[in-house]
Chain A
Amino acid sequence: MIALEFPPINEILRWKDLFPGFNKIALIAVAAALIGTIIFLLAGSKDHKTAPKGVRNFAESIVEFIENGIVMQTMGRDGLGWTPFLMSLFLFIYLCNVPGIIPFLQMPATARMALPMFLSLLVWVVFIGTGFKHQGLGYLKSSLFPPGVPKALYILVTPIEFISTFLVRPFSLTVRLFANMLAGHILLVTFALLSEALFQAKGNPGLIPVGVLPLFMLIFLTGFEVLVAFLQAYIFTILTAVYIGGAAHPEH
């Protein structure tokens, strides 16, 4: 007989305050902003005339990745002005995701609803604001009445476009990031607990070697979470770029 204690969901997600009004999630968010700032501060202070290396090389790689891999692909040259915002978004989300596999932290800040929801609402405000700035009230027309559709179909298309553009986008952004990171975190907790329980199975020593299997799975999932952390940051950022690009240039 083995006793497998799986803690309540709140116990693996909610963290006691480090000091009043400041818990581990807040710590990770602040640390992410600080680390990102320090990286770019250090990178900016290095000699820019020589070939970049170290932290400057890292920072310039991020800039080029955002510019060439996201902005140019979705918005074109006109969208290069959005690089700082998109880079902040990507770096912040990535640095909030990665603590899920860092020992002692072991919690992605984005596995809680607050951060994904705030970032999604911010993106929602930004792309709608961009749409109105570039097209005025024509933004509503181009969003709700896409050209080339037979007029009779607007009865169906307009409500669908309204729901998908103005309601579902922030919701899907939030849930995609939050659910992926939460699922990864729960998987890691599950396999860690299962390994521990099997290694400590006192009643049946034959189960102890079996504990290696969930341990291997835990190691594999930890590596997988590195990929997920990057991928979710990338997806959130590229979707943001697509939404802003679509709002600024409806013909795209």
Chain B
Amino acid sequence: MLTAVVIQSGDSLRVKLVSGEGEEGHSEDGHSFDPAECAFEPEEANPNECGPGPSPIIPEMKELVWGAGAFIVFALLMRFFLFPRLKKGMDARYNSIREGHENADAARSSARSEVAQYEAAVASAKAEAAKVVDAARATLESERQTKIAEANARINAKREAALRDAEAAKAAVRGQIESAVSDVVTSAVEAATGKRPDSAAVSRAVSDAMSAGVR
């Protein structure tokens, strides 16, 4: 085995390659060489030194055989046994999950349709109720108008009767007042003139005067 000896002197480094001290190979120091200690066979050109061995790039047959065998067995097991078994389980689970999703979607759409039906029924009931309320309101309004008309008619009849009574009372009072005024005028004229005036003429004059005064 080569040893790289690095010698530092001041700022400079010096590297020297020498054979290992403990080895039995042929070194610069003149140690003896024992081929049995070599990892690789001595080269033919220099039988006193351990060989560097074959190129590290060259594949070794035992590694090739074991590696190829291991991979082929693994790949075949994977292709025909391991992967199908795992994949079957995965597919079964994915299918069950997919079915679950589909069922959930179906349940959701069913629930949505039921909600839509319910909302349509509510809207229909509301419309029906509105119709009933409108009809009731219209009936009520017509009854109200009828009642109001009846009440107005009654009020008008009563008012006319009252007016009639008032006119009658007024006419009666007027007659009495005319008679009293006529008596007073007759007495006054009689006292002033000594003659009794024509009662018809007095009554007509009083009536005319009162009528003119009423206006």
Contacts and interface: CB of A to CB of B under 8 A. Distances in A.
Contact of A115 (B8, B67, B75, B87): B67
Interface stretch (B54-62, B138-146, B184-192, B204-212): B54-62
B196 to A, nearest CB: 139
Interface in B1-60: 1-8, 20, 39-40, 52-54, 56-60
A44 B89 contact: yes
Nearest to B57: A113
Interface stretch (B78-86, B104-112, B128-136, B154-162): B78-86
Given A60-B86, A88-B71, A37 B63 contact: no
Q: What's the dominant secondary structure at chain B's contact region? A: helix
B75 A88 contact: yes
Interface residues of B, number: 46
B62 A40 contact: no
A102 interface: no
B6 A2 contact: yes
Interface stretch (A26-34, A128-136, A157-165, A236-244): A26-34
Contact of B67 (A40, A49, A88, A118): A118
Q: What's the dominant secondary structure at chain A's contact region? A: helix
Interface of B: 1-8, 20, 39-40, 52-54, 56-68, 70-71, 73-75, 77-79, 82-83, 85-90, 92-93, 96
Interface of A: 1-11, 13-14, 17, 21-23, 25-26, 29-30, 32-33, 36-37, 40-41, 43-44, 48-49, 52, 56, 59-60, 63, 83-85, 87-89, 91-92, 96, 109, 112-115, 117-119, 122, 182, 204
